[in-house]
Structure 1
Amino acid sequence: MSDLQGRLKSLGFRVAWRTQRVLPEKLVWAVCRYAADRAARKRGPGTEQLRRNLARVVPAAGEVELDDLVREGLRSYARYWMEVFRMPLIGLDGMHRKVDPHVYGRENLDAALAKGNGAIVALTHSGNWEVLGGWVAAHTGHLATVAERLQPESLYRRFTKFRESLGMEVVPHIGGDQSAATVMAQCLRDNKSIALLGDRDLTSSGIPVTFFGERTRMPAGPAYLAARTGAALIPLGLWNTEDGWAMRFHPPIKVDNTKAIGAATQALADVFAADIAAHPTDWHMLQKLWVADLPEEEQAALAAKDAVRGRKSG
């Protein structure tokens, strides 16, 4: 990204944060809905990838139903950004009023913290994960999360300030005083909660899993931290309601030691799949997720990595 592109991107976010606070919500939603529907009609790369992803989630869907799913998925994604920019106007009290009646399984989170080893909340790119962060921070007294170091730096600082205003501790995935993994592990040893996205890692360090019947890779971090610290690994489902949000804290996944990381990550993928299938249009995955969608040379490199890993484990 050039300096000019970075400045324009940062300016665009700054304008959106300011204007959406003063414009009527119905007007803002009408604009967001129009933009989502236009993107659905144009069928750009992100939209087409969302279509391929949703075709795996809802394999029985015909072309017309897939059109509807994609359009509703893009509207859900547009709604997420509208809510982010309007969150200062909604306020923490307003956010809690909308989500509190729809929080299920909170006893799983409470029980994990009662044991004294911390809780790892693993989630997907679904619904409004900022709401999850704000709710857990208020409910447990603390939530730490890892954030991508967005460019330009001014945009990263703006998002960090926004998430901190919701009560979260934000740790950069690179460039911090300590590694993100070190900070997260210390939070867990201090019996605190952390939240980690767990539905995409198409790198050589990702854990191979089967997801909706196809091969993909998911981050090792959630299960690894659970194995190293004894913290509970709690899958989370997150989706939108008509005028708010809902979340479900599932029972923890057992991770006895580092040898169980692969099995635990597959178990996490299975829970994720059930939640996404129940609310497919609230899953904002506009990127390549399955290995089959990658270029052939990348598929071959990952297959070779998996072969080496298999020989070592055997």
Structure 2
Amino acid sequence: MMSDEVLRNVREAGLSWRAANYSQFQGKKLKDGLIYKLGTLPLSRETARLGPIIYDKDIPYPPQFDARQHWKNYISPVVDQGWCGSDWAVSLATIASDRFAIQSNGAEKVILSPQTLLSCNSKQQQECRGGNIDTAWIFAKNHGLVDEECFPYKAKFTRCPFKKRGNLLTDRCVPVVPQRTSRYKVGPPGRLVKEHDIMFDIMQSGPVQAVMTVYQDFFHYQDGVYRRSHFGNNELKGLHSVRIVGWGEDNQDKYWIVANSWGTAWGEDGYFRIARGENESGIESFVVTVLSDVTEAYLRK
């Protein structure tokens, strides 16, 4: 996964981002990293054709927006998926967590369990070798997730301890508000196609999920605005699900602010910035939004 040649070339090329070697990746093969540090399986034709949501809002957008600052204490922390291809589960669970907090004005501030998806959503999934984001969202809509305290993330496949049609009471989980007995569910997913629609949705409802293509050089990212360098292996690649939390500009260089799932020792405290408006690494090709099924008494008006 790590390459001294990639590191040297990126440093000498004077790119918009800097590279580093990471001890967590040392000695690991690239082909294994593309399985166990990513995890999103190729999108089906049906998923790729998911109906677009078009806001078409003719409004001025701020040059900078960061959900972590706009909704202080509502945005869930960066997760380390470990050596398990569960990015699809981690990104879904963190986005749903963020949106429960935002849409309830903090009343239902909960950290949801990606292990629920990894262990209980078995349809068309490959455990730690990858998963389909469409079946994951369907599972979250139909069956819901429990919280992290009730079913902690283990970075490996384990037996599902819950009945498919259960609730938080039968699951022996403690809800954050007394009115809730059902698991934490989401609405049907929608696809955001245009740059401004992605921005509007984030401003209105919170972080969104995006699928990007990862090559070897991305594992080396340290800081700056990422654009693929074409250094290193350009044949092996994989799909990676991440969480876009905002955007900004650096000397008119537009970028997205994105949470990764490799822990806070990687990148910019677990985040990275990537060029915006260029579909860099395909990050604007498939962006998903949902609404969380917030308890009605706490729904943001």
Q: Do these two structures clear the TM 0.5 threshold for a shared fold by scoring above it?
A: no
| TM score, norm. by length of structure 1 | 0.24
From the CA coordinates, give the structure whose radius of gyration is larger.
1
Which has the bigger relative contact order, CA under 8 A and spacing at least 6? 2
Which structure is higher in helix share? 1
| TM score, norm. by length of structure 2 | 0.25
